[in-house]
Amino acid sequence: MNNNAELNDLNIVIVGHVDHGKSTVIGRLLADTDSLPQGKLEQIKEMCRRNSKPFEYAFLLDALKDERSQGITIDTARSFFKTDKRKYIIIDAPGHIEFLKNMITGASRAEAALLVIDANEGIKENSRRHGYMLSMLGISQIAVIVNKMDLVNYDEKIYNDIVSEYSEFLHKINVKPMIFIPVSAMQGDNIAIKSKNMPWANTMTVLEALDNFSDVKQPDDLPFRMSVQDVYKFTASGDDRRIIAGTADSGILRMGDEIIFYPSGKKTSVKTIESLKNFISAGYASGFTVTEQIYIKRGELCVKYDAVKSDEKIKPLVSTMFKASLFWLGKEPMTLGKIYSLKIGTAKTDVKLNKIIKVINASSLDEAQNNKNNMINRHEVAECILETERPIAFDTADVMAYTSRFVIVDKYEISGGGIITENAGGEYPEMRENSAILIVPSAKLTQDDIERIEEIVSREFGNDVTIYRKNNFKNF
């Protein structure tokens, strides 16, 4: 057995229609890999006996969740187990909203997925929608688990029909699952032990399939990205340090690194790292101070200057207009022109749907008819143009997945989420180092006014000022 310290982690999300067996699969995986607290399994079995209730692996998970939610860590949605090859973190996604929220806000970020389908009930709309979300979020390592094979007498034909129907769906959305596995999570067939009940299935077990997934590129190896959460000032006399705090999405930041913030374009260097380690890496709340006295706000995206200078491709984009793939889950449809909030990283701004290019139903994949392209209904996916009130910094999904993901909030509720695929705001000026941007509503100001503002701002900030005149934005 390998030493723990040498094992890589892999974050797996488990999705599927309600009651198709997600909790049972997780419970089984924990039990069969000896990952449960000592005596837990017997304790729950005994409890079931006393209450004359049949034992369910899902109870095991509920009991663990209850315990954890009463403890210090409120980590109710994650389970941990390991094999000789890896340490696994399983993220339970009880519903669409939780799944999108966790994936987008960074609470948990899956690199692979188990998608559970009930063999007896067959493919449901949510089986398809979840598949669609995985494809949108770029999670390409997927194992499809056809569960409850015991309920269909381990019938090969029923299994094969589900495989072909679901493969056809996945093919349409460009997803190629790594494997389909017939299992019974309840009976333990093909979870950790190869089933004798399905001699026709020449398959890996779920555990083998997990070990067969590839390690994903560690975020440390990717370009540095950190969305500024807050700026803390010290009040003690003589201490003028300001700590810029946040949780990096990717990359490593060290003392002395030159950094640039977007959208402001302000540039400086890291003076000190204010964390337990002497560098900042992805996933940990950290802070640092900078050499210049610059004004940085929550929501700015911090990147390493050297990296973006040498490679245009990995430079974040700044715009008020972008093309997105958006999954809508709001009770009310998303409508053109209505004002919502958009959250990307720690940045938040008003946003409106500027144009719908195409709307499809995430389950049937049919193109929506008769909606005159002015709304996106619940469970529909749109290719659309979004327009924000203020410029935001982002990456496109093909360049950096995390910093391309956003959620849309309607009346304090997360109602949709998606990925930015393209910058559609060609008019927006290139950010330059030490530049300032001023957005003025040109409808309300004369050319004279604008020139006067330009003069004052230039005098205050140096010559590098761009005045951005925004037309047709009366709603904001």
Query: Of 12, 13, 15, 20, which one interacts with ligand GDP (CB under 6 A)?
Result: 20
**Rounded-to-integer distance, Cα 299 and Cα 393, Å:** 9
**Rounded-to-integer distance, Cα 291 and Cα 272, Å:** 9
CB of 198 to ligand GDP, least distance (A): 12
What dihedral angle (degrees, nearest 10) is formed by the CA atoms of 454, 459, 464, 465?
-20
CB of 92 or CB of 395, closer to ligand GDP: 92
Query: Of 12, 13, 22, 341, which one interacts with ligand GDP (CB under 6 A)?
Result: 22
Contacts with ligand GDP, 156-185, as mask; x by CB under 6 A: ----------------------------xx
Question: Judged by CB under 6 A, does residue 147 bind ligand GDP?
Answer: yes
Token reading at 179:
């494997």
Bond preceding residue 263 cis, omega within 30 of 0: yes
CA 327, 333, 338: angle at the middle one, nearest 5? 100
Span near ligand GDP by CB under 6 A; candidates 20-28, 253-261, 338-346, 360-368: 20-28
CB of 283 to ligand GDP, least distance (A): 27
CB of 145 or CB of 342, closer to ligand GDP: 145
Nearest to 473 by CA among 321, 316, 324: 321
**Rounded-to-integer distance, Cα 418 and Cα 446, Å:** 38
Question: Judged by CB under 6 A, does residue 384 bind ligand GDP?
Answer: no
CB of 62 to ligand GDP, least distance (A): 9
Binding to ligand GDP (CB under 6 A): which residues in 45-104? Answer: 56, 58
- Number of residues binding to ligand GDP, judged by CB under 6 A: 17
Residue 422, C-beta contacts closer than 8 angstroms, at least 6 positions apart: 322, 323, 396
CB of 41 or CB of 294, closer to ligand GDP: 41
Question: Judged by CB under 6 A, does residue 130 bind ligand GDP?
Answer: no
CB of 415 to ligand GDP, least distance (A): 23
**Rounded-to-integer distance, Cα 324 and Cα 356, Å:** 10
Query: Of 109, 128, 129, 148, which one interacts with ligand GDP (CB under 6 A)?
Result: 148
Q: 383-420: b or e for each residue (b if 16 or more CB lie within 10 Å)?
A: bbbbbbbbbbbbbbbebbbbbbbbbbbbeeebbbbbbb
What dihedral angle (degrees, nearest 10) is formed by the CA atoms of 39, 43, 46, 52?
-150
Token reading at 388:
């924000």
Question: Judged by CB under 6 A, does residue 128 bind ligand GDP?
Answer: no
Amino acid identity at 272:
T
Span near ligand GDP by CB under 6 A; candidates 105-113, 148-156, 245-253, 331-339: 148-156
Token reading at 314:
């990995």
Span near ligand GDP by CB under 6 A; candidates 143-151, 263-271, 292-300, 372-380: 143-151
Question: Judged by CB under 6 A, does residue 320 bind ligand GDP?
Answer: no
Question: Judged by CB under 6 A, does residue 126 bind ligand GDP?
Answer: no
CB of 119 to ligand GDP, least distance (A): 8
Question: Judged by CB under 6 A, does residue 388 bind ligand GDP?
Answer: no
Taking a C-beta distance cutoff of 8 angstroms, is the pair 116, 14 a contact?
Answer: yes
- Residues forming the site for ligand GDP (CB under 6 A): 16, 18-24, 56, 58, 147-148, 150-151, 184-186
